Amino acid sequence: MDVKTLVHYLGKELESIGHEYESREILENLFNQDISYLYAHDDLQVGQKTLCRLEEVIKARKSGQPLAYIFNKRSFFGRTFYVNPSVLIPRLETEFSVQELLKLSGDSFLELGIGSGCVSITMKLERPNLSVDGVDISDQAIQVANLNAKSHLAQTHFFKSNLFQEVSHSYDLIYSNPPYIRTEDMEILEDEVKKYEPHIALNGGEDGLDFYKKIIKDTPNYLNKTGYLVLEIGYNQKEEIFSLLEEVNFTGKCIQDYAGYDRVIIATRRK
Ligand SMILES: C[S@@+](CC[C@H](N)C(=O)[O-])C[C@H]1O[C@@H](n2cnc3c(N)ncnc32)[C@H](O)[C@@H]1O
């Protein structure tokens, strides 16, 4: 089979599950080549090993496995991060959080719930003088984040902690994108998310606010006087989170993402 025939075959297979737009990512990963190279050399014969891998990929994708887990990678803020099913696949919305974080001043940064480490590592690489700590309750997530830090040569300090439990410093910036799906909504998540992504990264308790409540309650003990608490939130959680901030005498503003959804809250102590 030549590349042209393979591209055509893959297109048809993806079309049958409504994922035609994923053709490019699959081809680039399969051949480890840019798509333009493949199109320019579409008469090349494809080896047996590649054909077998293609069949594996199609089978996995048809069963609902996300491409990021099939290829163990996802791009975030222009860099590639290793991912596996023990960590959330980095989201586009979270790149938006990073853009907001980068506008804030501060020398020290703490992330609660690092997952793949994509946010903390990006912060360190974009702001090399920032001291970056991050925690997660999942040992596997910490392993993945450390692997990513190593491959990006980012000097970050990741450790296991239930939110602030093992945190002993205070910081200028505290960020979290915690689990925030309401327990009853876990059932109606897309299969791809529900079946493959870690529930520990998604389930935010009965009202979806469990983690925000705990984080906001303890933040005054860990945030430096003029520091910022930055939270990524679900599109319908702004008002409740503002009320929680009010209780600790914080004030916040909410920023909408590219799609126009309430996405990031930036909070400070009330003056
Ligand atoms: C929504 S994911 C966010 C991951 C990463 N920050 C990102 O944006 O891709 C939430 C993360 O919080 C972690 N987590 C859940 N409960 C936690 C807890 N009690 N303490 C610390 N981390 C927790 C999960 O393991 C998961 O990695």
Q: Produce one character per residue of 16-47: b if its CB has 16 or more CB atoms within 10 Å, e if not.
A: eeeeeebbebbbbbbbeeeeeebeeeeeeebe
- The residues pairing with 262 across neighbouring beta strands, listed in sequence order, are 256
Give the position, in ligand 1's atom list, of the atom nearest the Cα of 214.
Answer: 19
CA within 13 Å, CB half, 111: 30
Q: Whose CA is nearest to atom 18 of ligand 1?
A: 162
Question: If you measure from the C-alpha of residue 82 to the centroid of ligand 1, how many angstroms do you get, rounded to a whole number?
Answer: 16
Per-residue model confidence as pLDDT tens for the chain (271 residues): 999 999 999 999 999 999 999 999 999 999 999 999 999 999 999 999 999 999 999 999 999 999 999 999 999 999 999 999 999 999 999 999 999 999 999 999 999 999 999 999 999 999 999 999 999 999 999 999 999 999 999 999 999 999 999 999 999 999 999 999 999 999 999 999 999 999 999 999 999 999 999 999 999 999 999 999 999 999 999 999 999 999 999 999 999 998 999 999 999 999 8
Determine contact, residues 235/261, Cβ cutoff 8 Å.
yes
Ligand 1 site: residues with CB under 6 angstroms?
A: 87-88, 90, 94, 112-116, 118-119, 135-138, 141, 162-163, 177-179, 200-201
Question: If you measure from the C-alpha of residue 41 to the centroid of ligand 1, how many angstroms do you get, rounded to a whole number?
Answer: 43
Question: If you measure from the C-alpha of residue 117 to the centroid of ligand 1, how many angstroms do you get, rounded to a whole number?
Answer: 10
What is the dihedral angle through the alpha carbons of 146, 149, 155, 158, rounded to the nearest 10 degrees? -30
3-state class (DSSP) for residue 162: coil
Please name the residue that has the structure tokens 């299969």. 191
3-state class (DSSP) for residue 110: strand
Pocket test for ligand 1, best of 99, 110, 135, 138 (most atoms within 8 A of CB): 138
Give the position, in ligand 1's atom list, of the atom nearest the Cα of 94.
Answer: 8
**Distance of alpha carbon 125 from alpha carbon 269, whole angstroms:** 28
Number of H helices and E strands in the chain, helices first, is: 11, 9
Question: If you measure from the C-alpha of residue 90 to the centroid of ligand 1, how many angstroms do you get, rounded to a whole number?
Answer: 11
Phi, psi of 159 (to 5 degrees): -150, 160
Question: If you measure from the C-alpha of residue 258 to the centroid of ligand 1, how many angstroms do you get, rounded to a whole number?
Answer: 23
The CA radius of gyration of the chain, in Å to the nearest whole number, is 21
Q: How high is the pLDDT of residue 271?
A: 81
Give the position, in ligand 1's atom list, of the atom nearest the Cα of 113.
Answer: 12
Residue type, 12: K
Q: Whose CA is nearest to atom 12 of ligand 1?
A: 113
DSSP string, 200-241: GGTB--TTS-HHHHHHHHHHHHHEEEEEEEEEE--TT-HHHH
Pocket test for ligand 1, best of 142, 177, 214 (most atoms within 8 A of CB): 177
Q: How high is the pLDDT of residue 91?
A: 95
**Distance of alpha carbon 170 from alpha carbon 160, whole angstroms:** 17
pTM: 0.95
- Of 65, 67, 54, 69, give the one whose Cα is nearest residue 6: 54
Q: Cα 88 from chain centroid?
A: 6
Determine contact, residues 233/208, Cβ cutoff 8 Å.
no
Q: How far is CA 252 from CA 181, 256, 257, in A?
A: 22, 13, 16
Question: If you measure from the C-alpha of residue 78 to the centroid of ligand 1, how many angstroms do you get, rounded to a whole number?
Answer: 22
What is the dihedral angle through the alpha carbons of 241, 243, 248, 250, rounded to the nearest 10 degrees? 70
Question: If you measure from the C-alpha of residue 202 to the centroid of ligand 1, how many angstroms do you get, rounded to a whole number?
Answer: 8
